[in-house]
Amino acid sequence: MTDLSTLEQEIFSGFANIKSKTELENFKIEILGKKGKLSKLFQDLATIEKDKKKEFASEINILKSKVLDKFQNLTNQFDQEELEKKLQDQTVDVTLPGTNRPQGKVHPVSQVIDELTSIFAELGFSVAEGPDVENEYNNFTALNTPPNHPARDMHDTFYLDESKNLLLRTHTSPVQIRTMLNGKPPFKIIAPGRTYRCDSDQTHTPMFHQLEGLYVDQNVTMADLRGCLDYFLKKFFEVDEIKMRFRPSHFPFTEPSAEVDIGYELKNGKITIGQGDKWLEILGCGMVHPNVLKNAKVDPSKYQGYAFGVGIDRLAMLKYGINDLRSFFESDVRWLEHFGFNANDVPSNYRGLSR
């Protein structure tokens, strides 16, 4: 018969040598497994004389519970050590200086579109959209520019599929037609977007951006147009006064038509917008031609309105002092880092447009 106190000593000196949870688990099998040293004792019980059986059984049970306690304690100890090690590996020193993550910037064109949207929203304009791939009817014919009209040549159009009359829109004016055909007057929209012409030099790129404006109602006048443009230009250039003149011009889709110039001056190579004795052409506008209204299913005897078109890239160049348009579309990260805007500074009229 096994001597219990010797066994106990043997087991506990075994415990003393255990250094890991895996070792502990193996040891547990050695002692308490099916063929373990302690389990074996219970088998021995069968061979013991009846009167000693009870006493021996209670002694083994005492030993077993001591051993189980020790196992539990060691398990807890190893778990605790493991947790502490994990926490140590994951510590963050909050007193260390932060690292700059690479940050995206908002392109000046997107910035200017946001600024314009904010300004015109205040005047009650909503944003309308049209596709870059347009049909010839919306881009020209409906805008009172029939085939063979000389204005078509001036646009240097990219035709995509002549048989289907598809082209890349040469201006945002077709959005006027789409908007009016899709709704009922009054209309008060702006339409910013991409436009395309086969042209490339320092101030022209094959793709550029325009913003179209359209306001049609029963008593819209040219004075309203002037007031709207004056407000928009002052807000956009963030100046209190702006010198502005309407110069008679011609567009097929407006009658009368005008080009708008604003005053500026150059001092030490720096341009100041709003004042000065020089004139800068900034946009085209006019009263919507009755033929355009008719083509868009709006009754010209009841409704009239104004329209304007302005180059977004040009506005960005003027406001932010960028002098080569081509640089806008070269995707040079250093350029964007320099001229781009913080994505969190959404332009708003009351908080400031470009600050």
* Cβ at position 163, least distance to ligand DAH in Å: 25
Give the residue, chosen from 192, 284, 305, 347, that forms a contact with ligand DAH under the rule CB under 6 A. Answer: 284
Tokens of 352: 């400031």
Give the residue, chosen from 152, 171, 188, 289, that forms a contact with ligand DAH under the rule CB under 6 A. Answer: 171
* Cβ at position 154, least distance to ligand DAH in Å: 8
Give the residue, chosen from 192, 252, 274, 286, that forms a contact with ligand DAH under the rule CB under 6 A. Answer: 286
- Asked if residue 247 lies in contact with residue 259, where contact means CB atoms within 8 angstroms, the answer is yes
Applying CB under 6 A, does 144 fall inside the site for ligand DAH? no
Q: Which residues on adjacent β-strands are paired with residue 207?
A: 196
Region near ligand DAH per CB under 6 A, out of 63-71, 100-108, 268-276, 306-314: 306-314
Give the count of beta carbons closer than 10 Å to the beta carbon of residue 220. 20
- Element containing residue 338 per DSSP (H, E): helix 333-339
* Cβ at position 328, least distance to ligand DAH in Å: 18
Site size toward ligand DAH (CB under 6 A) is 11
Furthest C-alpha separation in the chain: 127
CA distance 154 to 350: 40
Q: Which residue lies nearer to ligand DAH by CB, 273 or 285?
A: 285
What is the distance, to the nearest Å, from the Cα of residue 67 to the centroid of all Cα atoms in its chain? Answer: 63
Q: Which residue lies nearer to ligand DAH by CB, 60 or 287?
A: 287
At 297 the three-state DSSP class reads coil
Give the residue, chosen from 308, 328, 339, 341, that forms a contact with ligand DAH under the rule CB under 6 A. Answer: 308
Give the count of beta carbons closer than 10 Å to the beta carbon of residue 61. 12
- Element containing residue 168 per DSSP (H, E): strand 166-168
Give the residue, chosen from 309, 315, 317, 353, that forms a contact with ligand DAH under the rule CB under 6 A. Answer: 309
Residues near ligand DAH (CB under 6 A) are 171, 173, 212, 251, 254, 284-286, 307-309
